Amino acid sequence: MSNNVEDATKKLTRLLLENPKSKVIFMVGAGISTSCGIPDFRSPKTGLYHNLSKLNLPYAEAVFDIDFFKETPKPFYMLAAELYPGKFKPSKFHLLMKLFQDKNRLQRIYTQNIDTLERESGVSHKYVIEAHGSFAENHCTECNKMYKRDVFENKLKEYEKNPKKENLARCKECNGLIKPNIVFFGEDLPSRFFENWDLDLEEMEKESSKEQLIVIVAGTSLTVYPFASLPIEVPKTHHRALINREIVGDFLKEPRKLDIIIKSHSDEAAQIIADELGWSKELDALMEKH
Ligand code: CNA
C-alpha cells in the first residue's frame, strides 16, 4: 500500500474524528463487491462485459436493454445466474458501512449494485437506496403485472440446468417475459432514489451541514447516469472522498479543493478507516460473523 493511500485515508478519518457528529453519505458501485467474487462491469479481462463477450452481444450494455432482452433473454439469464443474491458474503467495505450505521454516523447509502449485499450486511432498508433496483420483486415486461421474487428465481434455476425457451419465466396473464425489477437502460429509476436525494441535498444545502455531511464515493466508474451526477450535485462546500482503483467521473473532470482521493482497493481503505476510527475490533467481529 502506498503512503499516498494511507495519508489520504487519514485525511478522511481526521475529518470524521474532528466532527464526531458528522454523518456519511456513501455512493457505491460494483467495485465494492469484486472481493466477494462478483465481477464488476468494466474492469478489463475480469469484468462481466468482458465475460459476456463470449455471447456475441451486439454491444456489452445490450444485456440490460429491454428490447434486446425481449428478443434474446439468454445473456441476462446468464448474468442473473452469476449475480443472484444469496451466493455471496459482504465485503469488508460493506461491513464498514454497517459500522457507520451502528455508530449513528450513516446518513444514506446510494448503491448501483443489484447484489443486495448492503442488506445482507445488516444495514437497515431505510438507509439503503438501491438506485438500479434489485431481484426482490419481478414484473411482466408486457403488462407490468407484479410477481414475487421466487417466480423468476425458480425459473432461473430451471433455465440454468436446461437453457430452453420453455424454461423462461412468463406471465400467467399475457405470456410476456417476466424480469426482476432491475433498472434497464431507458427505464426509470425507483422514485425512492429521487425522493431521498432531494432530502439529502436539501440537508447539504444548509450552511450548518458543511462538515457534518461527508460524501464517500467508492468502487464505481461513475459512467452510468443519473447516478453519476450525484457527486456533481454535492455542494462545493462539502467534502467528497473517492475510494477507487482509478480516478473517475467528476473527480477527474472537475476536481475540487476539498476532494480527498484514495486510489486504492476499497477493502484496504476500509481497514485503515476502521483502524483510525478505533473500530477495528468491531469490524473483525463482523467479518467473523459473516
Ligand atoms: P463499473 O463500471 O464496472 O466500475 C467499477 C469501478 O470500480 C471501476 O472504476 C474499477 O476500477 C473499480 N474497482 C473494481 N474493483 C475495485 C476494488 N476492489 N476497490 C476499488 N475500486 C474497484 O461498475 P459501476 O458500479 O460503476 O457501474 C454501474 C453498473 C454496474 C450498475 O448498473 C450495476 O448494476 C452494475 N453492476 C453491479 C454489480 C453488483 O451488483 N455487484 C456487478 C457488476 C455490475
* b/e per residue 209-234 (b: at least 16 CB within 10 A): bbbebbbbbbbbbbebeebbebbeeb
Q: Exposed, middle or buried, 263 (CB in 10 Å: 0-12/13-18/19+)?
A: middle
Which atom of ligand 1 is found nearest the CA of 182? 34
| Mean pLDDT (the chain, rounded) | 94
Residue 228 reports pLDDT greater than 70: yes
Q: Exposed, middle or buried, 257 (CB in 10 Å: 0-12/13-18/19+)?
A: exposed
pLDDT digit string (tens) for 186-196? 788 999 999 99
50, 94, 132, 139: the active-site residue: 132
**β 146-148/133-140 pair status:** antiparallel
Q: Determine whether 290 is an active site residue.
A: no
Residue 163 three-state SS = coil
pLDDT of res. 116: 92
Alpha-carbon distance of 16 to 138, in angstroms, equals 40
- CA 39 – ligand 1 centroid, Å: 8
Nearest to 73 by CA among 87, 55, 59, 86: 55
pLDDT digit string (tens) for 92-112? 999 999 999 999 999 999 999
Residue 154 reports pLDDT greater than 80: yes
Identify whether the C-beta of residue 91 lies closer than 8 Å to the C-beta of residue 36.
yes
When pLDDT is cut at 50, 70 and 90, the band that residue 216 belongs to is: very high
pLDDT digit string (tens) for 58-88? 887 888 999 999 999 999 998 898 888 888 9
What are the pocket residues of ligand 1 if the criterion is a CB atom closer than 6 Å to any ligand atom? 29-31, 33-35, 38, 40-43, 47-48, 83, 112-115, 132, 219-221, 223-224, 244-246, 248, 265-266
Stretch 139-159: mean pLDDT, rounded? Answer: 95
Is the complex ipTM higher than 0.90? yes
Higher pLDDT, residue 6 or 50 = 6
pLDDT of res. 2: 66
Sign of the C-alpha dihedral, residues 180, 186, 191, 194? positive
First vs last Cα of the chain: how many Å apart?
26
pLDDT of res. 251: 98
pLDDT digit string (tens) for 239-290? 999 999 999 999 999 999 999 999 999 999 999 999 999 999 999 999 999 9
**Which residue of 33, 35, 41 sits with most ligand 1 atoms within 8 Å of its CB, as the best mutation to test the pocket?**
41
- Give the count of beta carbons closer than 10 Å to the beta carbon of residue 182: 19
